[in-house]
Structure 1
Amino acid sequence: MRVTQSMLSSNMLRNLSSSYSKMGVLQEQINTGKKISRPSQDPVIAMKGIGYRSDLNRVEQFERNLGEVNNWLDSSDDGLDKVGQALHRVRDLIIDANNDTKTAEDRDKIAKEIDQIKLQIRDLGNTKVGDKFIFSGTKTLSPMYDPNGTAPLYDANGFLDTNYPGVNENVNIEINAGVEITVNTNGIGIFNEIDDMMVQLQSALEDEKNTGVKGNYDALLGLADENIDTVLTARSEIGARQNRVEMMENRLSSQNLIVTKQMSDNEDVEYEEAITNLITQESIHRAGLAIGSRIIQPSLVDFLR
């Protein structure tokens, strides 16, 4: 086959163009730090990158969910802690009221303090996280206690009706694929029992004031101890869930690191390798230019000069 000057020139130009293209790719890798800048350069890397990003987004969403879980659990534990402190004070007042040396004026002061503690406990029952009431079951937009509440949502005492749908149900948040955790505490039963005890105590103090007949403070003391134990049990359950959340946080943190490393290995360029390849390609390109200048034969114009 006869090799013409035009064939040599065409091959040289094609090879030079290919060399420029390779240097451009290597330069872009060094500038961006990525192996590819568009999917067409390497569809396999692009598809793997999409998968890794989906995994990373999912892990980050679960980590955000855990933040919400911690808000609920911490707020529930803090609210019940304050309730427990109030109940201990109520217990002390019951013991104090059971003292036969107390005057009517003393008992009146005890009754007033009991009334304020009752209101405080009711307020704690309406604890919120953001705009959600955490002790109201799935009825998170309704306060657990509302003196002006209307039926059928509220009973005659102003508390959410335990028979109303959602009041006794759990609020669950997903913390991993297919894994949910209950973040709320069923507070209706706890606060109803406490409020009933407080009403009985107020009634006993009022009757003693009006009739002089001493109330059954021993029974009320037993009720106070039962309610304190109930609150402690609820707090222990919250603590167990907090421990589980902490373990899940560690697991998600490890998953985040693993997926990030996989994505980096898949997409990020090795700078040392890329710079070496660019220098090598530049040397090849210069050699191609030098050889091309010898391949192109002098034209008639060159002789006329």
Structure 2
Amino acid sequence: MRVTNSMMVQNMLDHLKNNMGDLNNLNEQLSSGKLFQMPSDAPIKVSDSMNYKSQLNRNDQYQRNLNQAENWLNTTESSLKSATKVVQRARELSIYASNDSVTSNDREKIAGEIKELRDELVDISRAELGDSYIFSGQKTNVQPFSVTGNSDYVKYQGDKEIIERRLNENVEMDINLNAQDVFEDEINTLNNLYNQLSGQAAEVETSEFTDFNDLDNSGTFDIQVDNGAVQTVDLSGEDFDSWNEVTSFLENEIDGVTVEENDNRLIFRSEEYSEDSAIEITDTDGIFGENYEAAGSGDSYSGEEISASLTKLDNSINKYAELRAEIGGKLKRTDNLRSRLEAGEVHLKKLKSQNEDADLAEVITNLKMEENVYRASLASGARIMQQSLVDFIR
């Protein structure tokens, strides 16, 4: 094959171009610190790096979820700790107030402190994390309780939905408690205790019924509470299935009283605990067999009646201890999960670095070698280039 000068020159230029391309790649690796710049440079490595990046992003999100969960649980635990102190103090006061030797003035002072403890428990139930009420279920923008001022002192406004956080691929953790389960009974117990120490409510106990069906379609009666307006209660057309249905119906129909059943007797109790409390029942259709009148008193309840709250307060203290133990267990688990996530993050970053980061010492060595090759190519090309006619023009 005939080799011409132009062929030699063209081959030299092709090799110079390749050498310059290699130099450019090595310079890009040196300046960026990465083995590849475009997916076409190393498709498999690019795919692996994208996978590592995706796993790191998920790991980062899990750690953010973990931070949120820990903050929520720590705030909950702190609130339960405060609530425990409130209930324990209320228990101490109840024990003291249940002694019949305690004077009315002392019980009045105790009632004042019980009132403050009740209001403090309401405040604790409204604990916030940022702009979220932590005890309102998923209705985090709504205060858990509104104060009614009745015997059921508070009304729950949240819901019982669970708030969850995903902490890794396989773990979802419930992080919230709702105030209805945690605080409502305790607040009402303290309110009832305050009322008992402040005075006695008017209370009417009816004669005994055979069962709740005696009230089915039984007619009407009038009731006046605390000297207010007369309220007419119509039982015509009603068909009850239990005493609970009876008491719920009557409480909904009558303002200012609570109604309960005991041994097939109905007990109407005014929500006002003082000497101004009064109940008057006019038995229009003979439902009860007689009319009733009762008045309250400014004297507190007896020590035995006051001490009935102790069992409820003891149950509340035990409940809070169990809830705090549950929260503590979840916080311990989040610590373990955090350690695993942090270890996983280190491992993924190492794999990602090994896959895409350039070894600078190796790159610099290769760059020097390519520079030498490039210089040798230029020197070789200088020898290949022949003299042209221009060289002879003087």
Quick check: TM above 0.5? yes
> Equivalent pairs: percent with the same residue?
35
Unaligned runs of 5+ in 2: 201-296
| Moved >6 Å (runs of 4+) | none
Offset, 1:88:
1.3
Offset, 1:212:
5.4
Unaligned runs of 5+ in 1: 150-154
Q: Indicate the residue corresponding to 1:193 in structure 2.
A: 185
1:180 to 172, 181, 188: 172
Q: Give the Cα–Cα distance (whole angstroms) in 1 for the partners of residues 20 and 300 of structure 2.
A: 106
- Opposite residue 214 of structure 1, the aligned amino acid is S
2:319 to 230, 242, 250: 230
Offset, 1:304:
4.1
Offset, 1:220:
1.5
2:351 to 239, 256, 262: 262
Q: Give the Cα–Cα distance (whole angstroms) in 1 for the partners of residues 378 and 301 of structure 2.
A: 115
State the SS of the aligned residue for 1:185: coil
1:159 to 155, 159, 162: 155
**Superposition pairs for residues 52-131 of structure 1, below 5 Å?**
52-131=52-131
- Aligned CA distance change for structure 1 residues 236 and 22 (closer, same or farther; 3 Å): same
Query: Structure 1, residues 47-73: CA drift from partner, whole Å, max 9, x if none?
Result: 222111111111101100111101110
Query: Structure 1, residues 263-297: CA drift from partner, whole Å, max 9, x if none?
Result: 11111000111011001111111111111111111
- Aligned CA distance change for structure 1 residues 281 and 110 (closer, same or farther; 3 Å): same
Q: Indicate the residue corresponding to 1:25 in structure 2.
A: 25
Question: Does 1:210 pair with 2:298?
Answer: yes
- Higher mean alpha-carbon deviation, 18-27 vs 89-98, is at 89-98
User: Is the 2:73–2:327 contact (alpha carbons within 8 Å) kept by the matching residues of 1?
Assistant: yes
Q: Give the Cα–Cα distance (whole angstroms) in 2 for the partners of residues 111 and 218 of structure 1.
A: 14
Q: Give the Cα–Cα distance (whole angstroms) in 2 for the partners of residues 84 and 23 of structure 1.
A: 73
State the SS of the aligned residue for 1:259: helix
Q: Give the Cα–Cα distance (whole angstroms) in 2 for the partners of residues 140 and 262 of structure 1.
A: 41
Q: Give the Cα–Cα distance (whole angstroms) in 1 for the partners of residues 185 and 327 of structure 2.
A: 20
- Opposite residue 14 of structure 2, the aligned amino acid is R
- Aligned CA distance change for structure 1 residues 229 and 113 (closer, same or farther; 3 Å): same
Query: Structure 1, residues 158-213: CA drift from partner, whole Å, max 9, x if none?
Result: 3226xxxx722321111112421000023312211101211221122123782355
Q: Give the Cα–Cα distance (whole angstroms) in 2 for the partners of residues 204 and 124 of structure 1.
A: 23
Q: Give the Cα–Cα distance (whole angstroms) in 2 for the partners of residues 139 and 263 of structure 1.
A: 42
- Higher mean alpha-carbon deviation, 171-180 vs 210-219, is at 210-219
Q: Indicate the residue corresponding to 2:132 in structure 1.
A: 132
Q: Could you say what the CA RMSD is over the residues aligned between the two structures, in angstroms?
A: 2.0
RCO greater where, 1 or 2, for CA within 8 Å and sep 6 or more? 1
- Higher mean alpha-carbon deviation, 60-69 vs 31-40, is at 31-40
- Higher mean alpha-carbon deviation, 191-200 vs 58-67, is at 191-200
Query: Structure 1, residues 216-236: CA drift from partner, whole Å, max 9, x if none?
Result: 233212221111111111111
- Aligned CA distance change for structure 1 residues 38 and 131 (closer, same or farther; 3 Å): same
- Higher mean alpha-carbon deviation, 290-299 vs 207-216, is at 207-216
Q: Structure 1-normalised TM-score? A: 0.91
- Higher mean alpha-carbon deviation, 15-24 vs 140-149, is at 140-149
User: Is the 2:152–2:188 contact (alpha carbons within 8 Å) kept by the matching residues of 1?
Assistant: no
Q: Give the Cα–Cα distance (whole angstroms) in 2 for the partners of residues 250 and 101 of structure 1.
A: 59
1:171 to 152, 156, 163: 163
Q: Give the Cα–Cα distance (whole angstroms) in 1 for the partners of residues 384 and 309 of structure 2.
A: 110
User: Is the 2:138–2:159 contact (alpha carbons within 8 Å) kept by the matching residues of 1?
Assistant: yes
User: Is the 1:185–1:234 contact (alpha carbons within 8 Å) kept by the matching residues of 2?
Assistant: no
User: Is the 2:29–2:36 contact (alpha carbons within 8 Å) kept by the matching residues of 1?
Assistant: yes
Q: Indicate the residue corresponding to 1:290 in structure 2.
A: 379
Q: How many residues get paired?
A: 296
| Structure exhibiting the larger radius of gyration computed from Cα positions | 2
State the SS of the aligned residue for 1:31: helix
Q: Indicate the residue corresponding to 2:240 in structure 1.
A: none
Q: Give the Cα–Cα distance (whole angstroms) in 2 for the partners of residues 270 and 100 of structure 1.
A: 87
Q: Give the Cα–Cα distance (whole angstroms) in 2 for the partners of residues 112 and 202 of structure 1.
A: 8
